Amino acid sequence: MKIAITGTGGRVGAALAAYFSRRGDVVIELNRQAMDLRDLSSLPPILGACDFDVLINPAALSSPDDCEKNPGLAYLVNTQAPAAMAECCARRGKQFIHFSTDYVFGGEMPIRPNESDETLPVNVYGRSKRDGEIAALQACPEALVMRVSWVFGAEKPAFVEQIAQKIIAGHELEAVADKWSIPTWMTDLCEWTGLLSDEKISGIVHACHGGEPVSWHGLAVAVQELLENRGLIPERRAIAAKLLRDIDAFIARRPVHTAMDNARLCSLLPTPAASWCEALGQWFAGSHFSLRG
């Protein structure tokens, strides 16, 4: 298959490009230099000149605070560009896979929403992504929208890798304890994307692991336990529990409970998705990331 992928300089896009290349697909990297999503009028001719079977769009303005500071740019990149890409795919009969986020949910209650539950985003990032989902599916009803949460184990470090390095380095430790979701291992996310693409699945899928929702603080504790069990640190240390309201750097409001129900994903996989704890353990046990040095 010929797979065109946007955002290949980003966390998810880079991992997807590597995964599909390893699988033997032809990967066409549509990074910012090849296709700037802010330039809407350039998208149809660029995509028209590109020979692909599947277009995957993980590119986004992905920082909630950047979106809050620049809502116009957020709507351009996260809403209008996916709509334009979806329209191009629909016109040419190509498959479109769009990445979205657990932040489309308002997160007021710990209810594990499924794909048909109401979305009530609380910030510009969430609203621009939710509107991007709707616009993409309107333009291309056969599109697949994969909502993901708290990705770890990619080339570009995320919370798990950063806290692991801080624990090993003996730094002061703190993490937010009043916001919960489900961490997702990039290796499994790539496999799920490949499988759902092969099966031509459409509509929204919550692409996350199972298990109990965890806070960043709980995730930091889990990472510390794994490091101790592998003999990478001499002992566990206290991790200060911070509250969202203590984090002055956050400009955008954060939704609190965004762990999603992954029953639809599990029904589409040959074996149900693992819990995030199992996935974290597998990632630690594997050679995907060296925690030494």
Ligand X SMILES: NC(=O)c1ccc[n+]([C@@H]2O[C@H](COP(=O)([O-])OP(=O)(O)OC[C@H]3O[C@@H](n4cnc5c(N)ncnc54)[C@H](OP(=O)(O)O)[C@@H]3O)[C@@H](O)[C@H]2O)c1
Should residue 214 be labelled a site residue for ligand X when binding is judged by CB under 6 A?
Answer: no
CB environment 143-158: b (16+ within 10 A), e (fewer): bbbbbbbbbbbbeeeb
225 is an interface residue for ligand X by CB under 6 A: no
Q: Which is nearer to ligand X, 57 or 235 (CB)?
A: 57
Rounded Cα–Cα distance for residues 152 and 183 (Å): 7
Q: How far apart are CA 279 and CA 285, in angstroms?
A: 10
Residues 238-277 binding ligand X (CB under 6 A) are none
Please list, in sequence order, all residues whose beta carbon lies within 8 angstroms of the beta carbon of residue 158, skipping any fewer than 6 positions away. Answer: 11, 150, 151, 152
Residue from 17, 37, 144, 207 that binds ligand X (CB under 6 A)?
A: 37
By CB under 6 A, is residue 66 in contact with ligand X?
no
- Nearest to ligand X of 44, 233 (CB atom): 44
Shortest distance in whole angstroms from residue 170 CB to ligand X: 26
**With contact defined as beta carbons under 8 Å apart, do 186 and 150 qualify?**
no
Name which of 94 and 147 has its Cβ closer to ligand X.
147
8 A C-beta contact, residue 269 and residue 192: yes
Chosen residue from 17, 27, 62, 143 binding ligand X by CB under 6 A = 62
Give min distance, CB of 148 to ligand X, in A.
5
From 150, 216, 276, 283, residue interacting with ligand X (rule: CB under 6 A): 150
47 touches ligand X (CB under 6 A): no
Report how many residues bind ligand X under the rule CB under 6 A. Answer: 27
Q: Is 107 in the site for ligand X (CB under 6 A)?
A: no
